[in-house]
Amino acid sequence: MKENYSAIILAAGSSGRMGQPKALLPFDRQRCFARKLADEFYAFGCCRVAMVTNSDVVELVGSGKYNLNGMDIILNPTPSLGRFYSLYLALQAIDTQYIFMDNADNPFVTAGLLSKLWENAKQADYVCPAYKGKGGHPILISPDIVSAVKAQTSFQINLKDFLNRFRRIYVDVDDEQVLVNINTPDDYSRLIGTEKKLNPVQSKDMNYDF
């Protein structure tokens, strides 16, 4: 029987250094970052794609402007608790065995990359792509991690520290973009290559890294 897998996009941060929600930044003329990510996850065969985000983004998505139809939009009412809590909330809503997990500030996922991770799904508790020895994203987490996250009752947990409790395998890829985080307008202009003007910086943002 084919394994059951879905995807979670973590997008509850303030996007302060960018000055506007990174999940909703234009990736191309048709799609924002979140839509592009969802398209790749669905193309690979994910059953569901959920994005966990804050109240401001939920309101913007509700306008229908960003074409996020088909995705589960999950509110994190307390973003200050961090990415672990976002993952926990998503796993309460998604009943699948394996989960691909990515940050909204890296829209460069491809179905081919997901396939490489999936080929190694049974080799460790979670699978991480690596470029020249450095781990990147997205990652693929196993049913054991899914169960462990769901069982937590305290959420003052750093996601990276939590994952370090489990066995990890790196999958070497020839794709530097697995290391990318688009956190600032300069990052956006350099990596997306658009002349679209972004809003000015408003506040400090957290740095996402697996």
Amino acid (1-letter code) at residue 205: D
Tell me the domains of the chain and their CATH numbers. Answer: 5-192 (3.90.550.10)
What is the average per-residue pLDDT within 156-166? 95
Averaged pLDDT of the chain: 89
Confidence of residue 194 (pLDDT cuts 50, 70, 90): low
Amino acid (1-letter code) at residue 68: L
Burial class of residue 13 (count of CB atoms within 10 Å of its CB; 0-12, 13-18, 19+): buried
pLDDT at residue number 3:
59
Q: Which tens digit of pLDDT belongs to each residue from 34-44?
A: 999 999 999 99
Q: Which tens digit of pLDDT belongs to each residue from 29-88?
A: 899 999 999 999 999 999 999 999 999 999 999 988 999 999 999 999 999 999 999 999
- Of the candidates 209, 127, 204, the one whose C-alpha atom is nearest the C-alpha of residue 172 is 127
pLDDT at residue number 203:
29
- Of the candidates 171, 44, 52, 192, the one whose C-alpha atom is nearest the C-alpha of residue 108 is 192
Indicate if the pLDDT at residue 202 is higher than 80: no
Q: Compute the distance between CA of residue 73 and CA of residue 52 in angstroms, rounded to an integer.
A: 6
Indicate if the pLDDT at residue 143 is higher than 90: yes
Beta pairing class for 98-103 and 5-11 = parallel
Given a contact cutoff of 8 angstroms between Cβ atoms, the answer to whether 140 and 166 are in contact is no
Query: Which residues, other chains included, contact 51 with Cβ-Cβ below 8 Å and sequence gap of 6+?
Result: 8, 9, 11, 23, 34, 38, 68, 71, 72, 73, 74, 104
Indicate if the pLDDT at residue 195 is higher than 70: no
